[in-house]
Structure 1
Amino acid sequence: MKTKVIKLSGIALAVAALSLGGYNFANHSIGTAHASPASATMTSPAAASAAPSAALTLPDFQSIAERYGPAVVNISVEGTVKTSARGQSPLGGMNPNDPFYDFFRRFGPQIQVPEGEQITHGMGSGFIVSSDGVILTNAHVVADATQVTVKLTDKREFTAKVIGIDKPTDIAVLRIDAKDLPTVPLGDPSQTRVGEWVLAIGAPFGFENSVTAGIVSAKSRSLPDEGYVPFIQTDVAINPGNSGGPLLNLKGEVIGINSQIYSRSGGYQGLSFAIPINVAAQVRDQLMTHGKVTRGRLGVAVQDLNQALANSFGLKAAHGALVSRVDTDGPAAKAGIEAGDIILGINDERVGSSAELPPKVAAIPPGETVKLEIWRQGKSRDLTVTVGELKSAQVAANDSQDMDQGRLGVAVRPLSPEEQQQIESTAGLLVLDSTGPAAHAGIQRGDVILAVNGKAVSSIEGLRKDLAAVGKHAAILIQREDARIFIPIELG
């Protein structure tokens, strides 16, 4: 069964009848547990009273829920979807046992239902960050809604205005016309540690102000198609309706916005993901000030490093973001960054993996100058880059599916002028067949070999010389369809 990342949108098509199944509820109380040291011998009452007693105190979720629960709101949305024209049988609710049922089923006319609109309803959660009515939630909760209603814990309801939506980070900012509202303080996700207790408040399946708890499972998680959010992973129970609700630490500070689950069944399976609140706060500020979100851009495609690639580039540890392509006339190209460079840090902040680079760059205002630490030809160096404005993002994925008939094991030919124009490169050799080390590493027929260890390849003889000059490991830059990726090769 395929595992899916699911955005917990409550949007669903309205239906003629709604049936609710039975629910079983179990109440669990969290209190204080006391442990006394075990003793194998009898002690006097005086000695026993003098002996220290150990007390294990569980997290005080109750106080946090009581204090900050009123700042968590229930969001219901209404929208419309267009329906196409379709044929409909005139049988309607006709009894199948009716003697004319089979006649009409076979020979009755089809009634043509014209195009129209159907009302949709959805639900989610949010939380108040300003006493004058500013609310944060997920973009997918309110996207395409024609009406958004916010309900407070005191049963008051308000029609909310959508201030702005940022789909790349899945953040939306709402405002309701109210004053002196309860709020929740915002924390610092960078201070959050793996294993730390956290709790979520929201409206799973419409059950308002429900509290669930768990721990932080991991930080800076990268999810498919979510390149600008370093998610906080938890094992807090999150279900449809929790979307947009807060993830709080034991200080009662919001450290994230509950957004997605990873599931094979479509329901909660212990893997929940929250958007760090610092990412959401940056988006909120830009949406409220400018009405849109701008992001920084380097103009590179990057991929992750494994140990084999690190060895090929003479890097001891497999950390950093490997540049597989540099956009022509982009900020990185103007600064001298080349394919094969490994970005180790940005403004003295370490880049541990390729997934960490996009959100770091996106957070930098366009036009600002940054210092990049890169690894090139066996040593590190610093480059200065003026960050551009992001229009569209590209991140290369290392799919590793895939004759100099010697060390590499490929049969190749030079590219024709038309092929060079197609891939926008004057270098490159087309792979006609792949065996040995190349096939084992995933190079396949139709790939174009562009470089060996960062050195451009334009002829078969040049490829042989480049391979003869490297040691046991080589990093081969190839183009596969529209993506350029480095593939590590064990040459032996």
Structure 2
Amino acid sequence: MFIARRDPSLAALRRLIGALAVIALLVPGSSRAGAPPGGFADLAERLLPAVVNISTTQTMKPSQGGPELPQFPPGSPLEEFFKEFMERQQGGKSPDAPSRKATSLGSGFIIDAAGYIVTNNHVIADADEISVKLHDDTVFQATLVGRDPKVDLALLKIEPGKKPLVPVPFGNSDDARVGDWVLAIGNPFGFGGTVTAGIVSARARDINAGPYDDFLQTDAAINRGNSGGPMFNMRGEVIGINSAIISPSGGSIGIGFAVPASLAVPVLDDLRKFGKVRRGWLGIRIQSLDTDMAENIGLPDQKGALVAKVDPNGPGVKAGLKDGDVVLKFDGKDITEMRRLPRYVASTPIGKKVEVVIWRDGKRQTITASVGEMPEDPAEQQVKGKPETPKPQAGKDGILTIPGAGLTVSSPTPQLRERFGLDDEAKGIVVTEVKPDSPAAEKGMRPGDMIIEADHKPVRSPADLGKLIEEGRRAGAKSLLLRVENPQQLRYIALPLAEGKKK
């Protein structure tokens, strides 16, 4: 039998390392955001009075949430039969019965002793009445100060009278690091005053909830009813408003999302001052860059936001922005991803003059823009968007086939305009066919798209496009930058031009 021998000096060293590790965990301040030595009890006791339960009441018509009564001639036997059936389905109430009340639950927290309370917009959306229950079970009726569906925030107000309220401050969510401890308090499934702990799992998450997504992700347990509740750091500061979870079952699986305080505070300030949010605006439509686009315009990487269209009446055109520019930096902030630009612009004070670094004609340029106020229907939005290559083949009636791209285009005849719902004044050529698995299909082109520019030159006929394709191939270009429009969106597409190998 083989018996391992223990080296006394090695064992002593291990004991020393273990002791030092324990000391490091116990020494106060040894970790910037470590868990308190005694747990979270003291912190939770201090914060619980600031967190409230929110219940809403909404008036619903009898037909809401269930099938409607089919229409039959008055007095017909079928009318009576279906009326009785509907009454049974709706608990004895006929479709003509009085409206009923529906209730929902959520969370919120006090930010001002004067009675201002923060929650999610979706918690109070369409509510007729809003009630707020404090930690000591005192109930107040709340009024809506303002709400912002784009960031999913709402500001409420109660009149506490002589009742003392315990507000909590906001912290700097930009300082939060992945791995920092956080505490979530809320009203999950109606169980008020529930405290859960976890860490910041990730930052800057985009879950397609709105145009300014920049969520903090946490593994602290968040469930239905936690919406609108606070996420605290270990100093007791609110760094996020719990808003959403990802779960196949509806319960927490450790993937929750919170609106960061850095995004929420300016919104709440505007709601308090104006009852609505006033956002900065450049008046541009933007889209992301792919590898082919970046290479086509000479950019060394895919960072930046491509300007698909400049509003003729917006601040961008006054600043000198043009279609096809790429915004690389805005007010000193690098645009590492396209979706960053709308948030930066929206959070900029209205009227502020900012430097905008752009890529145009193969080089960086700097212009100055004065940020305007976003209108109700803003123009700035995100635009979401081999085989042998024979020459383009011209056919009858202004039709052009580009086999290497898998694309067929035509002059916009009245029949095609009617077929694809195109405006009579729309200029360009219309895509009539896109072959599956072709380069054009991979770039998202589809029948009904209108090509209005190629290589920044107007396209008014299929022949114009064919000429520019051939010029590009002769020049050794790998792609041709097309400006494509349809009734839903406007975008740029880099159409590959590389010749394939002959079979």
TM-score bracket for this pair, using the shorter chain length: 0.7 to 0.9
Which residue among 28, 42, 49 is the counterpart of 2:8?
42
Cα RMSD for the two superposed structures: 3.2
SS in structure 1 opposite 2:339? helix
- 1:268 is aligned to 252
- Which whole-Å deviations, capped at 9, do the CAs of 1:400-423 have from their partners, x for residues lacking one? xxx353664533223359959955
Which residue among 49, 53, 62 is the counterpart of 2:20?
53
- Which whole-Å deviations, capped at 9, do the CAs of 1:342-401 have from their partners, x for residues lacking one? 1112111112222112222222243333322111222121222232322224534435xx
Which residue among 391, 401, 412 is the counterpart of 2:409?
412
Q: Is the alpha carbon distance of 1:79 and 1:487 closer, same or farther for their aligned partners in structure 2, counting shifts above 3 Å?
A: same
Task: Percent identity, please.
Answer: 39
Q: Is the alpha carbon distance of 1:112 and 1:253 closer, same or farther for their aligned partners in structure 2, counting shifts above 3 Å?
A: closer
Q: Is the alpha carbon distance of 1:112 and 1:437 closer, same or farther for their aligned partners in structure 2, counting shifts above 3 Å?
A: closer
- 2:377 is aligned to 392
TM-score norm. by structure 1 comes to: 0.79
Partner Cα distance (2:257, 2:250) in 1: 14
1:72 matched to 2:39? The reply is no
Partner Cα distance (2:458, 2:254) in 1: 47
SS in structure 1 opposite 2:61? strand
1:430 matched to 2:416? The reply is no
1:284 matched to 2:268? The reply is yes
Partner Cα distance (1:490, 1:62) in 2: 61
- 1:477 is aligned to 483
Partner Cα distance (1:79, 1:385) in 2: 45
How many pairs align? Answer: 436
Contact 1:431 1:446 in 2 (8 A): yes
- 2:200 is aligned to 216
Contact 2:224 2:250 in 1 (8 A): no
> How far apart are 1:483 and its partner, in Å?
0.6
> How far apart are 1:424 and its partner, in Å?
8.2
- 1:202 is aligned to 186
Contact 2:118 2:153 in 1 (8 A): yes
Contact 1:89 1:111 in 2 (8 A): no
> How far apart are 1:299 and its partner, in Å?
1.8
Unaligned runs of 5+ in 2: 27-33, 70-81, 386-399, 499-503
- 1:99 is aligned to none
SS in structure 1 opposite 2:270? helix
Contact 1:229 1:279 in 2 (8 A): no
1:352 matched to 2:358? The reply is no
- 1:177 is aligned to 159
Unaligned runs of 5+ in 1: 1-38, 94-109
Amino acid at match of 1:89: E
Contact 1:80 1:120 in 2 (8 A): yes
- Which whole-Å deviations, capped at 9, do the CAs of 1:27-66 have from their partners, x for residues lacking one? xxxxxxxxxxxx9433599999977521246613333222
Partner Cα distance (1:49, 1:465) in 2: 79
> How far apart are 1:151 and its partner, in Å?
1.6
> How far apart are 1:203 and its partner, in Å?
0.9
Higher strand share: 1
Q: Is the alpha carbon distance of 1:47 and 1:149 closer, same or farther for their aligned partners in structure 2, counting shifts above 3 Å?
A: same
TM-score norm. by structure 2 comes to: 0.77
Contact 1:428 1:451 in 2 (8 A): yes
The range that moved more, 268-277 or 419-428, is: 419-428
Aligned ranges for residues 188-199 of structure 1 at < 5 Å? 188-199=172-183
Which residue among 96, 102, 109 is the counterpart of 1:120?
102
- Which whole-Å deviations, capped at 9, do the CAs of 1:44-91 have from their partners, x for residues lacking one? 999999775212466133332222122111112222122248554389
Q: Is the alpha carbon distance of 1:92 and 1:317 closer, same or farther for their aligned partners in structure 2, counting shifts above 3 Å?
A: closer
1:489 matched to 2:486? The reply is no
> How far apart are 1:440 and its partner, in Å?
4.1
